[in-house]
């Protein structure tokens, strides 16, 4: 049977000022650091602590995965049944929560091993700060297998899990279920501020070496979840270009038009090609633009505004990420980088404070220069409220004001992201219309983008009603005319649905006025190979996870 394991994220609630956290640390990626100034138009999405499921799927022991429990539910779980191992995954701002959970384990199950993981494990001296038996830094599957006495080199098992939950805009549910595909972890670019790259040693650990392995697992996950939409959680997917090209070849050979969102860098995108991204089915890309003043190797010599424009012209939604409060930013020049990010005209824009996270080269540099602010509690180390180092030109209060103003400027000048998403979909249809006449594969891609556009069109009355300023009202009117030109008149059924969407937005407005706009992720308990109570060891709970499939002989790229 093996050791009984509990793998857990930290407890909620999130985004509130209490003994365990801060109101600025919202457990919603977009609403926290991308569309946060856009009010009702902000994208609201919850993302799972998916690393826990990957660990659970890749060991032989029985495992319970507890994601986003309340503190009370975590205590109840510890009292309900014994565990041999309790693994706690956390990020740096949730340090206090992880410490409290370790204390509770020591109190309620003193015989259980405590293992710490996640980016919080990179905190210097965490072994002395949080009661624990082991700290895992970097990729954890191999470590856990070895710790349990299992074969660390046996094939990687990819679980079939959704990438996100509870997707809303204006209080209206949007999009369907999307799956998660993780080809590997880490990034060789090693940008000095990047916690992910440094956490994995500035190396890339591949879970799937070939495009064939990736293709068959993507097909399996899509079938298991009933979706063709997968988010590729890989720090720089096109950096492994040969694997991506093999994946594309197999998709076209088998006529399996999956759709992907992903992360990649400018130099990797240009090498793979925007047209190939369209053929692959990429409909969303997260792009690190960072700064006009401090260019990294991935961006040097590249025309980022032109690249963003080309991506959007081909129907690919772009999230551009930027950094504020670099060492040479001053009150006089920081607006230049704010303008740089806004003028990219991406669908979405992230502004992050230049934050030195443990293990990064930036952290080591600022520490050596005596600039890190170790008096600032770890709860504030999230890049959206306080600077965790002593900036020569900005106090924390000044930085908060500038950061908030950057988000407001972006919203004022570029309008809501949901409006831009609709514009990008229409631009993609127009661009692909002619080549789709002679290329059946591109016709499929055009039709996928058209399906997106039809859903965005349902929001037109809502966009008109909630237009942010006169500029957005004009853009909404122009968008409505463009929809009419490209897609023709809206059918009666769609008009009814669009009125229903507006009604939901009105209800959400009232709910927000009465109760605020905070949204907490739901608790999730998943059992892997867990014995049923009162049954023998042969009775297991949890879904079976298929082994990776191989491409059949003779298939291109096999």
Check: CB of residue 383 under 8 Å from CB of residue 351: no
Taking CA atoms, 54 is separated from 21, 217, 353, in Å, by: 27, 14, 30
Share of the chain above pLDDT 70, in %: 95
pLDDT of residue 31: 94
The pLDDT of residue 488 is above 60: yes
pTM: 0.92
Name the residue with tokens 């002395």.
Answer: 128
Which residue in 90, 88, 87, 64 sits closest to 77, CA to CA? 64
DSSP string of 486-499? HH-SPPHHHHHHHH
pLDDT in tens, 403-438: 999 999 999 999 999 999 999 999 999 999 999 999
The answer to whether the beta carbons of residues 162 and 178 sit under 8 Å apart is yes
**Distance between CA atoms of 494 and 453, rounded to whole angstroms?**
12
* 542-554 mean pLDDT: 36
Q: Answer whether residue 23 shows pLDDT above 90.
A: no
The radius of gyration of the chain's CA atoms, rounded to the nearest angstrom, is 24
The pLDDT score that the predictor gives to residue 545 is 38
Q: How far apart are CA 41 and CA 517, in angstroms?
A: 12
- What local confidence, expressed as pLDDT, does residue 224 receive? 96
Residues 320/309, Cβ–Cβ less than 8 Å: no
Rounded Cα distance between 369 and 388, Å, is 14
pLDDT score, position 295: 83
Instruction: Give Cα 346 to chain centroid, integer Å.
Output: 17
User: In a 3-state reduction of DSSP, which class is residue 356?
Assistant: coil
**What is the C-alpha to C-alpha distance for residues 368 and 96, in angstroms, rounded to an integer?**
26
Residue-level pLDDT at 1: 65
- For residue 533, the model assigns a pLDDT of 62
- Whether 218 and 230 have beta carbons less than 8 Å apart is answered as yes
**How would you classify the pairing of strands 63-67 and 524-528?**
antiparallel
Q: Which domains does the chain have, with CATH numbers?
A: 5-40+48-157+523-541 (3.40.50), 176-414 (3.80.30.20), 425-515 (no CATH)
Cα-based distances in Å from 173 to 176, 228, 262, 417, 504: 9, 18, 22, 16, 9
| Distance (Å, whole) CA 41 – CA 18 | 28
pLDDT digits (tens, 9 = 90+) for 239-287: 999 999 999 999 999 999 999 999 999 999 999 999 999 999 999 999 9
Q: Which of 253-257, 412-416, 502-506, 517-521 has the lowest mean pLDDT?
A: 517-521
User: How far are the Cα atoms of 24, 64, 121 from residue 357, in angstroms, in the given order?
Assistant: 17, 30, 11
What pLDDT score was predicted for residue 177? 77
User: CA 355 → CA 21, 32, 371, 538, distances in Å?
Assistant: 18, 16, 12, 50
């Amino acid at each position: 049977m093996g050791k009984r394991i509990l793998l857990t994220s930290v407890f909620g609630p999130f985004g509130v000022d209490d003994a365990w956290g801060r109101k600025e640390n919202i457990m919603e990626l977009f609403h926290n650091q991308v569309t946060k100034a856009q009010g009702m138009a902000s994208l609201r999405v919850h993302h799972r602590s998916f690393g826990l499921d990957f660990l659970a799927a890749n060991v032989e022991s029985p495992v319970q995965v507890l994601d986003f429990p309340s503190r009370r539910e975590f205590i109840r779980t510890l009292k309900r049944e014994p565990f041999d191992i309790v693994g706690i995954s956390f990020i740096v701002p949730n340090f206090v929560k992880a410490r409290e959970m370790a204390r509770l384990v020591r109190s309620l199950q003193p015989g259980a091993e405590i293992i710490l993981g996640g980016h919080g494990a990179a905190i210097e001296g965490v072994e002395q700060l949080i009661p624990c038996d082991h700290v895992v830094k970097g990729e954890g599957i191999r470590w856990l297998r070895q710790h349990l006495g299992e074969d660390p080199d046996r094939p990687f098992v990819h679980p079939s899990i959704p990438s996100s939950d509870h997707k809303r805009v204006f209080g209206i549910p949007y999009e369907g279920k999307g799956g998660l595909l993780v080809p590997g972890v880490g990034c060789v670019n090693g940008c000095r501020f990047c916690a992910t790259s440094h956490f994995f040693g500035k190396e890339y650990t591949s879970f799937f070496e070939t495009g064939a392995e990736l293709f068959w697992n993507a097909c399996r996950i899509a079938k298991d979840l009933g979706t063709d939409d997968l988010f590729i959680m890989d720090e720089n997917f096109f950096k492994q270009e040969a694997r991506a090209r093999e994946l594309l070849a197999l998709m076209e050979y088998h006529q399996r038009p999956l759709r992907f969102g992903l992360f990649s860098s400018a130099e990797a995108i240009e090498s793979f090609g925007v047209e190939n991204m369209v053929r692959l089915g990429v409909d969303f890309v997260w792009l690190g633009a960072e700064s006009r003043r401090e260019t990294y190797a991935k961006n040097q010599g590249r025309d980022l505004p032109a690249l963003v424009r080309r991506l959007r012209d081909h129907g690919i939604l772009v999230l551009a990420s930027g950094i504020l409060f670099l060492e040479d930013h001053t009150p006089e020049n920081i607006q230049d980088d704010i303008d740089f990010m806004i003028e990219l005209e991406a669908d979405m824009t992230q502004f992050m404070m230049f934050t030195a996270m443990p293990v990064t080269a930036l952290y080591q540099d600022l520490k050596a220069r005596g600039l890190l602010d170790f008096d600032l509690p770890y709860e504030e180390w999230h890049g959206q409220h306080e600077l965790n180092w002593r900036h020569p030109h900005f106090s924390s209060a000044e930085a908060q004001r500038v950061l908030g103003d950057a988000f407001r400027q972006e919203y004022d000048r570029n309008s809501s992201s949901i409006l831009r998403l609709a514009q990008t979909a229409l631009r993609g249809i127009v661009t692909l219309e002619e080549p789709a006449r002679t290329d059946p594969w591109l016709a499929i891609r055009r039709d996928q983008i058209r399906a997106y556009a039809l859903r965005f069109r349902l929001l037109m009355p809502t966009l008109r009603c909630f237009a942010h300023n006169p500029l957005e009202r004009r853009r909404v009117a122009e968008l409505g005319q463009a929809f009419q030109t490209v897609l023709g008149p809206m059918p009666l059924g769609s008009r009814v649905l669009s009125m229903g969407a507006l009604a939901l937005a009105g209800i959400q407005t009232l709910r927000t006025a009465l109760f605020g706009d905070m949204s907490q992720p739901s608790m999730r308990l998943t059992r892997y190979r867990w014995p049923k109570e009162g049954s023998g060891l042969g009775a297991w709970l949890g879904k079976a996870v298929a082994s990776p499939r191989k491409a059949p002989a003779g298939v291109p790229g096999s």
